[in-house]
Structure 1
Amino acid sequence: MNAPVTQLTGDAIAVEQLQFCYRCGPAVLDIPRWSVPRGGRVFLRGPSGSGKSTLLNLLAGILAAQSHLEVLGQPLDALSGRRRDRFRARHIGVVFQQFNLIPYLSVLDNLRLAAHFGNSSGDVRSRSTELVARLKLDEHLLERRAEQLSVGQQQRVAIARALINRPRLLLVDEPTSALDPEARDAFVQLLMRSYRDVENTLVFVSHDMALARHFSMVADMRELNRAWKTESTDAC
C-alpha cells in the first residue's frame, strides 16, 4: 500500500521563490509564488520556451528544485534524487508527450512495471483490466506489445500507466499535439472521466487554448514566470 502523504499545507502544489537554471546558465524559471488547491484542474499554457516542461519536470521530481517546492505536502527540494523517484512513483502520475512506453513489453507488463516501482498492492491485472475498460480499450490489448499499438491506443495506455498507482497528482505534458481538434477534445474528456476523484489534482500542459474550456483554472507561464519577461537574468 502507498505510504500516506503528510500534508503540510492545504494545497496540492505550493511554490515560493522557485528558480531554476540549467548548468549555471540564465534562469529559465523564476516564479515568486504559485499554488494549486487539492482537487484543482489546471490548464497550464504558454509558448515554446516559456518554461512549461521545466516546471512540469520539477513538479514530478525529475529535476531537482533549487528552492522551495512543495507537492502533496512534501518539500521536494529536501529530498535526494532516489527519494524523489520513490515519491513520484507512489504519488504522482505523469503522461509524457512521447508516451515513453517500453515497446517490446506487453501493455500489461508496462503497467506491471509501473505498479512495481510504485509499490502498489493488490491484483495488478484486475486493476489494469479496469483501467483499459474505463479508457475504452479492448482487454485483449493487454497481451499485445506496446509497439504494435496505434498512436491513439498508446496514448490511452500511457494514461492507464499514469493512473495504475492511483496518484493524487496527475501531470500531463502536451499529449494531444498530433491530434485533430475533435480527437483532442475527446481525449481531454476521456482523461477527465478517468481521473475524476475529488481529491485528485490535474495539471495539463498545452499551448492549445481551445482545450482551456475543459478546465476550472488557467495559468499562463508568461504571467507566472518572471524569467520569461526579462531579456537577461542572473546566472546561477
Structure 2
Amino acid sequence: MNAIAIEQLCFAYAGGAPVLEIADWQVPQGSRVFLRGPSGSGKSTLLNLLSSTLVARKGQGKVQILGQSLSALSNRGRDRFRAQRIGVVFQQFNLIPYLSVMDNLHLAAHFGRGGDVRERATHLITQLKLPVDLLKRPAQALSVGQQQRVAIARALINRPQLLLVDEPTSALDRDARDAFVQLLMENYASEESTLIFVSHDTTLAQHFPVTADMRDLNKAWNPEATDVA
C-alpha cells in the first residue's frame, strides 16, 4: 500500500492562482523521504495537505493518505484520522509552555488513541536520551534541545503510521542537525511507518534513501514568486 498517493492535484487558495500542481506522486509505505525545495516552492502547503489541515476540494485532485481519501472525511473525521495515524514535528515545536512534559504528551494522546500513556511516555523519553524526571517539568523550563526531543516524543506518542517533520533544524549547527536526524531515524524505525522530512537544507539528504524535490514535483512553482507557502 502507498502511504501517500496524489493524483492530478491542482490546489489553490480561495480566489488565487494554483500554488500546487502535482500530476502524480506515490510514496510507498515504509519509505524515508527527504523533501527539499527553496522558500516559496510549496513545501508548507503540501505538508498541510498531507496532514489534512488543508483539504483538496472537489475538482482539485486526489490526496490519499494510508489508503484514505482525505476529502471524503468530515472535519471531525479528519481530526480523528490525523490524531490517530499522523504525527507532525513542527519547526517551532508548539509545546504548551505552562504544562508539564507529561501533560503535553497526555494531551496529544487524548486527541489520538487515548488511554494511559505514562509507560509509553517514559519509554520514549528514555529512548530520546532525556532524564525521566523531565516529564514533571514545565515545557518552558526546558532547553531548546530538550524541547526538540519532547516534540519528537509528542509526535510519536500515538505510534503514527505517517510522520511529517517540518524544518525542525533551522536553528541548529551542522553537527546538531546530523545528530537530530539520526536520533529521529533511530526512534521511528518500522516497515509500516513512513517518514517525510521537509527541509531546504540539502546537507541532510545524505541520511535518506529517497529524495524528492519540490521544483520537480510542483509544476505551479514560479522561481520568481516568493509568496507560495
Normalising by the smaller structure, the TM-score range is over 0.9
Partner of 2:190: 197
Aligned-pair Cα RMSD in Å = 1.3
Give distance in 2, aligned partners of 1:54 and 1:60: 10
Aligned pair 1:60/2:40, yes or no? no
Aligned pair 1:109/2:103, yes or no? yes
Kindly state the Cα deviation for residue 197 of structure 1 after the two structures are TM-superposed. Answer: 1.1
The normalised TM-score by structure 2 is: 0.94
Whether the 8 Å CA contact 1:64–1:81 is kept in 2: the answer is: no
Q: 1:173-192 maps to which residues of 2 (within 5 A)? A: 173-192=166-185
SS of structure 2 residue aligned to 1:70? strand
Aligned pair 1:36/2:36, yes or no? no
72-81 or 125-134, which deviates more: 72-81
Give distance in 1, aligned partners of 2:218 and 2:196: 16
Partner of 1:80: 74
Kindly state the Cα deviation for residue 231 of structure 1 after the two structures are TM-superposed. Answer: 7.2
Q: Deviations over 1:28-84 (max 9, x none)?
A: 101000010000000000000100011001000011123210000100121122211
Partner of 1:3: none
- Count of residue pairs brought into register by the alignment: 222
Whether the 8 Å CA contact 2:41–2:222 is kept in 1: the answer is: no
Aligned pair 1:21/2:21, yes or no? no
Aligned pair 1:219/2:212, yes or no? yes
SS of structure 2 residue aligned to 1:167? coil
Aligned residue identity for 2:140: E
Once the two structures are aligned, what percentage of the paired residues are identical?
68
Partner of 2:221: 228
Aligned residue identity for 2:122: T
**Residues 1:95 and 1:46: Cα distance change in structure 2 (over 3 Å):** same
Give distance in 1, aligned partners of 2:203 and 2:221: 23
The normalised TM-score by structure 1 is: 0.92
Alignment partner of 2:149 out of 150, 153, 156: 156
Give distance in 2, aligned partners of 1:89 and 1:194: 19
**Residues 1:227 and 1:166: Cα distance change in structure 2 (over 3 Å):** same
**4+ aligned runs moved over 6 Å, structure 1:** none
Aligned residue identity for 2:190: D
Partner of 2:92: 98
Aligned residue identity for 1:217: V
Aligned residue identity for 1:17: Q
Partner of 1:5: none
> Where do 5+ consecutive residues of structure 1 fail to align?
1-9
Q: Deviations over 1:147-186 (max 9, x none)?
A: 1111110000000000000000000000000000000000
Give distance in 2, aligned partners of 1:60 and 1:201: 13
